[in-house]
Structure 1
Amino acid sequence: MSVTSISSFLPENLIWKGLTLTASAAKQIHYLIEKNPNIKGIRLEVKNAGCAGLKYVMNMVNDLSNEDLQFLQFGIKLFVPLKSMPFMDGTQLDYVSEGLNQVFKFNNPKAQHFCGCGASFNIE
């Protein structure tokens, strides 16, 4: 009889690349925070949704969670729940013009599958 060893995956034990902002995203976030000085930073996370399985959620926050990892870019605190990091690690948040609109765009190197409308994604 052979013995098989199984490793555990514990997100809190990993070294993360983190999330980054472009200068354009940082400028827009600073603008939004200036309008509400109680804001402590931005929480970026993924939720189950859409055809492909996951969607990005971005909220301004004034309370912190013990479950959040914190990254500092351009003087802006980015909070990411530990459970979202396996799906978002290495993501860059940009602020771009799309047609007549300006939107935040997540450039995620892990995202592989997208639904037809682009509202949701999944990773390998």
Structure 2
Amino acid sequence: MAVSMTPAATERVRTFLTNRGKGIGLRLGVKTTGCSGLAYVLEFVDQLNDDDELFTIDDVNIIIDGKSLVHLDGIELDFIKEGLNEGFKFTNPNAKGECGCGESFNV
């Protein structure tokens, strides 16, 4: 099982955690939603759950629960800025398709 982050994503997560002042990392997960079936979820983690997998990349922790990991194995998290827009970009080798608005994906 593997997860990776670009330097831009690593720095952004590190900044978020520093500004928040607490937390052990960032949870990356999936939830059922949207027209394609699954959507990515990002949230701060203060405590690990029993089924969590911890990935440390350049001293930044990414936490993925066991149910989400099967959909996220091999994912790369990036942080991009395009004009006035900025946000995380997910490159997921497991995604077979995305909805037109980019909100959800299927595997």
1:13-92 mapped onto 2 (5 Å cutoff) = 16=1, 18-92=2-76
Query: Under a length normalisation based on structure 2, what TM-score does the superposition of the two structures give?
Result: 0.95
Q: Find the structure with the greater CA-based Rg.
A: 1
Shift of 1:118: 0.7
Runs of 4+ in 1 over 4 A off after TM superposition: none
Matching of residue 104 in structure 1 with residue 88 in structure 2: yes
Structure 2 residue runs of 5 or longer lacking an equivalent are: none
Aligned-residue Cα RMSD (Å) equals 0.9
Deviations 1:45-85 (Å, cap 9, x if unpaired)?
00000000000001111111111011110101111000111
- How many matched pairs? 107
Percent of aligned pairs with the same residue? 37
Q: Secondary structure at the match of 2:31?
A: strand
Bigger strand share? 2
Query: Under a length normalisation based on structure 1, what TM-score does the superposition of the two structures give?
Result: 0.83
Paired residue for 1:94, among 71, 78, 81?
78
Letter in 1 for 2:13: I
